[in-house]
């Protein structure tokens, strides 16, 4: 579990997972040649109910812990709309210049076909033909890095506490109110 948030609650376990956890060693000692899941398939509903109850209790635990857990699903950090935008690469600068020309000469061409043509054209250019795009991309990257440094020095936005989270909370409250109104009718 090297990836992800270490504070995130451990996932809920299924009834089968509880069965495997509690019965694996016992089952292997008695029947070393029979796989554990074979017994699970032949168990009666009454025998499985003990593990179903354990799974339900674990689901309650998981739901409680997830309720207290901070980040929204996905855990993505909200992006500041005022942050400087990353500059395009030399290839994308080339594409922005030639895309309209390709579309004009080939009306009705699909987006994928336009991309293929642009890729072929870029690959067929020699280094001296690519140089103006590379130079322009380098200048834009320098400007971007300067803008990012200025932006970070101001330090006005924290992705986890930014305006997007407040707006989302308000919209969720509105959704809950709509549900209450529709139920009360």
CATH code of 109's domain: 1.10.30.10
pLDDT the model gives residue 17: 83
The mean pLDDT value for 138-155 works out to 91
In a domain, 80, yes or no: no
Split at pLDDT 50, 70, 90, the class of 174 is low
Report whether pLDDT(171) > 90: no
- Residue 142: pLDDT band (50, 70, 90) is very high
pLDDT tens column, 32-87: 777 766 577 788 888 889 889 999 999 998 888 888 776 655 556 678 888 899 99
pLDDT for position 164: 43
The whole domain housing 95 covers 90-154
Are 96 and 150 contained in the same domain? Answer: yes
Question: 144 and 94 in one domain?
Answer: yes
In a domain, 40, yes or no: yes
Rounded CA gap, 153 and 33, in Å?
A: 66
Average pLDDT value for residue range 27-31? 77
Q: Is residue 63 part of a domain?
A: yes
- Domain annotation covers residue 127: yes
Whether 165 has a pLDDT exceeding 50, the answer reads no
Which pairs with CB-CB distance under 8 Å and at least 24 residues apart come from 53-60?
54/13, 54/15, 54/18, 55/12, 55/13, 55/14, 55/15, 55/17, 55/18, 58/12, 58/13, 58/18, 59/12
Overall number of domains in the chain: 2
Q: Is residue 146 part of a domain?
A: yes
Judgement on whether residues 94 and 149 belong to the same structural domain of the protein: yes
User: Residues 64, 106: one domain?
Assistant: no
Which value, to the nearest 10 degrees, does the dihedral of the CA atoms of residues 19, 25, 26, 31 take?
100
Q: Verify that 102 and 150 share a domain, yes or no.
A: yes
- Spatial neighbors of 87 by CB under 8 A, at least 6 apart, are 137, 140, 141, 143, 144
* Dmax (CA) of the chain: 77
């Amino acid at each position: 579990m090297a990836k992800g948030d270490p504070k995130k609650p451990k996932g809920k376990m299924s009834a089968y997972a509880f069965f495997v956890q509690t019965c694996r060693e016992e089952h292997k000692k008695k029947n070393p040649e029979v796989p554990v899941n074979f017994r699970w398939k032949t168990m009666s509903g009454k025998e499985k109910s003990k593990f179903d109850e354990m799974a339900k209790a674990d689901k309650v635990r998981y739901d409680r812990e997830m309720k207290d857990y901070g980040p929204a699903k996905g855990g993505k950090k909200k992006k500041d709309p005022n942050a400087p935008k990353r500059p395009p690469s030399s290839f994308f600068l080339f594409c922005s210049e030639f895309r309209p020309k390709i579309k004009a000469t080939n009306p009705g061409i699909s987006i994928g076909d336009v991309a293929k043509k642009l890729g072929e054209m870029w690959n067929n250019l020699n280094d001296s033909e690519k140089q103006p795009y590379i130079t322009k991309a380098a200048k834009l990257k320098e400007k971007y890095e300067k803008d990012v440094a200025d932006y970070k020095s101001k330090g006005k936005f924290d992705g986890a506490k930014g305006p997007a989270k407040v707006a989302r909370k308000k919209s969720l409250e509105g959704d809950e109110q709509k549900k209450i109104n529709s139920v009360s009718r």
